[in-house]
Amino acid sequence: MSTRYPDLALKKRLLRTHSALLRHQLAADWQQTVAPVQRVADRARQGAHWLRGHPALVAGVATLGTALLVRRPSALLTLARRAVWLWQVWQRFQPRPPSQP
């Protein structure tokens, strides 16, 4: 085929090269899109594993929350606000990973 139609053989090679480049670009784009979702899923899995490893702590916090909710709902809201504030302060002082180009 290449001896009778040299232009077709060249076109075929160019199309295959272009197709390989497009597949590579699609794989890179897909990885860039999926990577953040995978990180979130990994963090959720780690959190679930930690919770399964500390059932007494989870039960104690749930009991305390329920008791506060029944006894003094406003105290539970105050506690939740303080917890969120502490979490935000803690996040501010965490080292940031280098940004990706």
Structurally, the chain folds into a number of domains equal to 2
Looking at the structure, do residues 2 and 43 belong to the same domain, yes or no?
A: yes
Looking at the structure, do residues 40 and 64 belong to the same domain, yes or no?
A: no
Looking at the structure, do residues 59 and 44 belong to the same domain, yes or no?
A: no
Q: Does any domain span residue 101? A: no
The more confidently predicted of residues 5 and 21 is 21
Looking at the structure, do residues 47 and 62 belong to the same domain, yes or no?
A: no
Whole-model pTM: value is 0.47
Determine the structural domain holding residue 14 and report its residue range: 1-53
Q: Is residue 31's pLDDT more than 80?
A: yes
- Give the per-residue pLDDT at 43: 92
CB 64 within 8 Å of CB 56? no
Please report which confidence band the pLDDT of residue 2 belongs to, taking 50, 70 and 90 as the band edges. low
pLDDT in tens, 60-77: 989 988 888 888 888 888
Looking at the structure, do residues 3 and 15 belong to the same domain, yes or no?
A: yes
- Give the per-residue pLDDT at 101: 56
Q: Does any domain span residue 34? A: yes
Q: Does any domain span residue 82? A: yes
| Rounded Cα distance, 100 and 24, in Å | 19
